[in-house]
Homo-oligomer: A and B are copies of this chain.
Amino acid sequence: MHFLITGGAGFLGINLCRHLLRRGHRVRVLDLVDFDYPENDRVEAFRGDVRDAGTVDRVVRDIDVVVHAAAALPLSSRAEILSTDAEGTAVVLERAFAAGVPRLVFTSSLAVFGPPFPSVIPDDFAPTPATSYGTQKTICELLLADYSRKGFVDGVGIRLPTICVRPGKPNRAASGFFSGIIREPLNGVEAVLPVPDTVRHWHASPRSAVGFLIHGAGLDTTKLGNRRSITMPGVSATVADEIEALRKVAGEKAVSLIRREPDELVMRIVSGWAESYEAKRAKELGFRSDNSFEDIIRVHIEDEMGGKIA
């Protein structure tokens, strides 16, 4: 099969690309920025903006599955709300339809939900996003559902949990510490923990996330009806659970590299996040997550560290 990944320069896009190549597929990748893609004669990389219809037309030809992962970071400007994610998604939907692409998988986010939350969020909980990022994702989900309802594309929205352990350098996202307190100690480097041990969150490994997208690409969508976006399963873990899993996998020395440094701003942001999701529908549809936080750490060691702790 021939895949197009928009936003392919992100770590999820690159992981997905590698996985697809291993399975023998062909991959086109489109991103705004330059990036290193795996050296392989079955991969083609394009630089361009998903908001430009001509660019999308050039890359969407003869594609079997579009994985639309291009997304804007949280925005500072109000006017950009419509002119980035939603506009790009509208163009991708329209050009995929024009090109007759059979399947479109959209990487959505659990940021479509906003507080007040129940302790476990059911699948039919109403999206009331509490961020502009979540607002954009919800708008894109609505466009995807509208195009799918009309039969213009056959769309699947994948609401991803927070990806953990996120590879690479620490970033400035408020959620960064969830990965940082695992990734840095595994590399013998100190990591800062800005929130109390009791903070609970919903995690999936990059390997699971890639698995969700692949499963979405082949899903029997007749079961979806007009509910095209699906909350993905994950591992509900507190920071204490994370630390305990790190202790089991990498020992006390790794744990000792976590330095507690409370940060009021991060605490306030994180206190608005959900703790756990039912994800019953996804499980019934065959989406599979990691079994435990220990598994999440082991996946990171296998996939990103060559199987060895530093």
Contact = CB atoms under 8 A, between A and B. Distances in A.
Interface stretch (A10-18, A63-71, A140-148, A208-216): A140-148
A71 to B, nearest CB: 16
Contacts of A128: 145, 226-227
A112 B97 CA distance: 24
Contacts of A104: none
A135 B90 CA distance: 13
A87 B139 CA distance: 12
A135 B143 contact: yes
A150 interface: yes
B132 A138 contact: no
A128 B90 CA distance: 18
Contacts of A94: 78-79
A78 B97 CA distance: 10
Given A128-B226, A129-B142, A226-B128, A82 B87 contact: yes
Interface string A194-213: 00000000000000000000
Q: Which of A125, A128, A149, A226 has the most CB of B within 10 A?
A: A128
Contacts of A78: 93-94, 97, 147, 150, 152
Contacts of A147: 78
A138 B143 contact: no
Given A124-B126, A126-B127, A127-B126, A143 B226 contact: no
Contacts of A86: 82, 86, 139
Contacts of A145: 128-129, 135
Nearest to A139: B139
A124 B130 CA distance: 16
Nearest to A97: B78
Contact of A142 (B115, B116, B139, B149): B139
A192 to B, nearest CB: 28
Ranked 9 nearest A-B pairs via Cβ: A126-B126, A135-B146, A82-B90, A139-B139, A135-B142, A124-B126, A114-B226, A128-B226, A138-B142
13 contacts: A78-B93, A78-B97, A79-B94, A81-B143, A81-B146, A82-B87, A82-B143, A86-B139, A129-B146, A132-B146, A135-B142, A135-B145, A135-B146
